[in-house]
Amino acid sequence: MQAPAVGGIQAPRGNGKAVRLPQGASLTDFAEKIGANPAALVQIMLHLGEMVTATQSVNEETLKLLGAELDFDVQVVSPEDEDRELLESFDIEFGEDEGGEESLQVRPPVVTVMGHVDHGKTKLLDAIRNTNLVAGEAGGITQHIGAYQVATEVDGQERKITFIDTPGHEAFTAMRARGAETTDLVVLVVAADDGVKPQTTEAIDHATAAGVPIVVAVNKIDKEGADPAKVRAQLTEYGLVAEEFGGQTLFVDVSAKQGLHLEDLLEAIVLTADAELDLKANPDQPAQGVAIEAHLDRGRGSVATVLVQRGTLRVGDSIVCGGAYGRVRAMLDENFNPVEDAPPSRPVQVLGLTAVPGAGDNFLVVDDDRVARQIADRRAARKRNAELLKSPARRTLEDILKGEVQELLLIVKGDVSGSVEALEDSLLKIDVGDEVGLRVIRRGVGAITQDDVNLALTSEGTVIIGFNVRPERNAQELAEREGVDIRYYSVIYQAIEEVEAALKGMLKPEFEEAQLGTAEVREIFRVPRVGNIAGSMVLSGTINRNGKARLIRDGVVVADNLTVSSLRRFKDDATEVREGFECGIGVGYNDIKIGDVIETFEMREKLRD
Ligand code: GDP
């Protein structure tokens, strides 16, 4: 059925020729590649039942559909591939160590702490951080940079470990989703008084999917009711078998609160890394790595915590990080002390970038500022396209006309880019069916501004989410005046729950039919000015006046959408007649025959699960 769909619109045909398009390309991009008129492609899509504008980003499915129609072999290039190609065009290879085996040196493991909410991830990260601070530095540095490194002694040798300081699997999966494999090893925290819980098993799944070994920290052993043996027994079911049960997994009983056995945990991490991983990197090359979190500081500008994965990062280097670039003006460690160079696995705060990169963006050192700028500009342009693509599932013209697709628009603002992305990622995963979609129209780091509220005002019903941030005063006033809904959260789960509830609330109620009664027609009475009345016997249930009804003859519906307009027992009006009684029923329909069945029903709202 190809010819009629194109409907005589002029467009070149590809005869199977390949066309490469980036994710998030528009019909205009497509048209440019094949030398067609964008308007013609818009029309063809309309014929195919989809309404898209020429400049709108469309998804892969749409590009392929259009390609098939015009006989082009559309290949959609992933952002990772695209980025690799972009860097290759500058003669840069990302993600591989330069040189051979002999240039590699052992690097510390990078650890993420995961586990069920309230099992003590944050407390454990704080406890490890505080007990291992260099002497004299202690004294309540409460600010975190998103990652830190500690040292421990194993077999008489000093060994370092890097912890990602944003606990939870959201951050972990958000990073992975962006192709940033930052974690070498997962510490799974399980509270000894609570045992294995849903997010415990989720964490195991994520770690397993990433092929990352797990060390189990059985936490809160100081608490009454703590049962570390039970935790070990429970986890065997998930393939985590403790050494003492003949397995491979190291379990360490700890108390984050009392600081018990934290050194043992660090040792278990080092031993597991040594046994299962071969962590090496070349420290003598231009640095590459990944941004862990970033924010805008009033005084210092863009502040990004990056994890060096290979090479050594130095003050003065020209770097590009996602869509941001610049010269490293200064580097700070987790204690806010200046650092001159950062070798592999070292997290540092970098000052000097022109913009705030996203968590999970890769960074690399390049030869000069000009190259950094070119790469950053091209990435930024691509990111804008990709953001536009974050529209809901494809809609057909019909859906839009019938108003069947509803959309919740969100603006997400947060304190650090890591949390904004983790939150957005989780929100976009909420799925309550096809009728209702969710779209994040803006995301950003920092307070909620007047501009955010203005953007919310452009589309009715847009909700602003503040994650650990508050609105600026004029923004709050504007929001109150205009009735823009701003919600504040500091826990990702709460935000997810509420948004999910909101989405469910947007679902139109679904109705199902419930049969109320049936009656068999035994006689027909002709009543002047009223029409035919069916003298009937109620066979089941009840017949109600004003109820919905249909007429069935020999098992076939002959008339639907009827209403019981009159109901009588003998000469009297009745509101309801029950099974086993005779009555006269008028349904405003004259073609009634003896033996017909009148069925009454009502529509009840179906509960959604
Ligand atoms: P998260 O949600 O996994 O990050 O959990 P938190 O670190 O916020 O801890 C949740 C609660 O458990 C807090 O009230 C902590 O003080 C408490 N907690 C954490 N570790 C321990 C521990 O080892 N012993 C006791 N008694 N309480 C703990």
- How much is the pLDDT for 7? 54
CA 565 to chain centre: 53
Contact 261, 254 (CB under 8 A): yes
pLDDT at res. 137? 46
User: What residue's CA is closest to ligand 1, atom 19?
Assistant: 120
Measured in angstroms, how far is the CA atom of residue 191 from the centroid of ligand 1? 8
The Cα 109–Cα 280 span in angstroms is 9
Pocket of ligand 1 contains residue 222 by CB under 6 Å: yes
**Cα angle 361-366-372, degrees, rounded to a multiple of 5:** 65
Q: Can you tell me the distance from the alpha carbon of 573 to that of 439, in angstroms, rounded to the nearest whole number?
A: 55
DSSP assignment of 75-140, as one string?
EEEPHHHHHHHHHHTTT---SS-SS-GGG-EE---EEEEEESTTSSHHHHHHHHHHHTSPTT--S-
Residue among 112, 116, 117, 118 to mutate when testing ligand 1 (max atoms within 8 A of CB): 118
Model pLDDT, residue 6 = 53
Please tell me if the CB atom of residue 274 comes closer than 6 angstroms to any atom of ligand 1.
no
Q: Is the CB of 169 under 6 A from ligand 1?
A: no
- Facing residues of 106 across strands? 280
CA angle 69, 72, 75 (to 5 degrees): 115
Extract the residue ranges of the chain whose pLDDT is less than 50.
1-5, 134-140, 390-402, 404
Mutation to probe ligand 1, out of 119, 123, 490 (largest number of atoms < 8 A from CB): 123
Question: How far apart, in whole angstroms, are the C-alpha atoms of residue 471 and residue 448?
Answer: 4
pLDDT at position 142, please? 58
Helix axes 492-506, 417-429, angle to 10 degrees: 40
562-603 residue pLDDT tens: 999 999 998 889 999 999 999 999 998 989 999 999 999 888
Ligand 1 centroid to Cα of residue 272, in Å, is: 25
Question: What confidence score (pLDDT) does residue 145 get?
Answer: 86
- CB of residue 220 inside a 6 A radius of ligand 1: yes
- Counting beta carbons within 10 angstroms of the beta carbon of residue 91, is it exposed (0 to 12), middle (13 to 18) or buried (19 or more)? exposed
Domains of the chain: 2-77 (no CATH), 108-278 (3.40.50.300), 288-376 (2.40.30.10), 390-394+404-506 (3.40.50.10050), 510-606 (2.40.30.10)
**How far does residue 256's CA lie from ligand 1's centre (Å)?**
7
pLDDT digits (tens, 9 = 90+) for 95-137: 888 888 899 999 999 999 999 989 999 999 999 988 765 444 4
Q: How far, in Å, is the centroid of ligand 1 from the Cα of 219? A: 8
Q: 199 CB less than 6 Å from ligand 1? A: no
Q: Which residues of 477-501 are buried (b: 16+ CB within 10 A; e: fewer)?
A: ebbeeeebebeebeebeebbeebee
Query: Cα 435 to the chain's mean position, in Å?
Result: 18
To which H or E segment does residue 406 belong? strand 406-414
What distance in angstroms lies between residue 383's CA and the mean position of ligand 1's atoms?
Answer: 38
Query: CA 369: distance to chain centroid?
Result: 34
Residue 120 CB–ligand 1 contact under 6 Å: yes
Instruction: Specify the pLDDT at position 244.
Output: 84
The separation between the first and the last C-alpha atoms of the chain, rounded to the nearest angstrom, is: 40
The answer to whether 86 and 77 have CB atoms below 8 angstroms apart is: no
CA of 122 to the centre of ligand 1 (A): 7
Place of tokens 């986890």: 235
- Assess whether the C-beta atom of 261 lies below 6 angstroms from ligand 1: no
Q: Residue 23: what residue type? A: Q
Give me the DSSP letters along 279-348: -EE-SSSB-EEEEEEEEEETTTEEEEEEEEEESBEETT-EEEETTEEEEEEEEE-TTS-B-SEE-TT-EE
